[in-house]
Structure 1
Amino acid sequence: MAAKGREREKEPLDSVHQNAILCETILKERRSQKLHTDFSINPFMKPHVLTEKAMPRHPYEDAEEDPTFLKMIHGARLEPTKKYTHPQTESQEIGWISTPLIVQDRSDRRLHFARQNSEITKYMDAAWRLKEQTQNFG
C-alpha cells in the first residue's frame, strides 16, 4: 500500500487553483515591498566624472552648485574623527584619541633618554657601514 501512495502523480492544477496561488504570491510580495521616493547620490562612492563634449551647445558655466550636495560630498571624504564624535566600531576605538597626553620635552631627562654611543657601538656602526658598502660594490 505504501508503494501505491508514492506512485500517485500530482493532478494538474486547474485555473481556479492557479489564480489562488497567484493572488497569494502577490499579497506576500506587497507585504514586503517598500516604495522609495527619496533618492540621492551615495556620498561614500567616488562619483564618475565624465568629460564634456568638445563643442557643447549649452555651456554649464551658468549652472548653480547645490550647497547641501557639496556639503554632503565633502563630509563623506573626511576622516572618521572629524565626521563622528565617538568611534562607530570596536576597531575605531584603537587610535581614536591620537593627541599625546603630555607635551614632549626633549630637555627633560626623566622622560627622554637620548641615544648614547660607547666605543663598542661606534666600532660596530663603522663595521656595518663598511659591510654595506662592500655588498653594494660586490
Structure 2
Amino acid sequence: MAARGGEKEPPDAVHLNRLLCERVRKELRCQRLHTEHSINPLRRVHTVTQKPMSWHDNIEEPADVLEPTKKYSEPQTESQEIGWNTTPLIDTDRTDRRLFFPRRKTEVTEQMAATGHMKKQ
C-alpha cells in the first residue's frame, strides 16, 4: 500500500530483478551483431593521393627538364611566388654609396678583433 503523503514504498528485490530481466530481453531482441562490413555504395568515396616520393609513381613519369620559371610565365602555386623573380630591380653600382655598403674598419672593430684573437690563443 502507498504511504501517506504520496510517497511510494520502495519495490522489493524480486520485483526489481524481474524488471531488469525484462529490460535485458527487450534490448537483446533489438540488438544485432554485424560481422560483415563493406563500403556504402550510396556515399561518395574520396581517394587519397599517392605519396610524392614513392618508387612506383616515379617510374612512369620522366623528370622535368625545365625549371618552373622557364616552363611557366607566372607562378603556379603560392610557394613558387617566393623567389620567382630572381633578377635584381636595378643594376649594382659599387661607386654609389647609397646602395653599396662595404665592410669598414674602425678603431672599435680593430680593438674587438684583436681582443677576440687574443682570447682564442
Larger Rg: 2
TM-score by length of structure 2 reads 0.48
Higher relative contact order (CA 8 A, sep 6+): 1
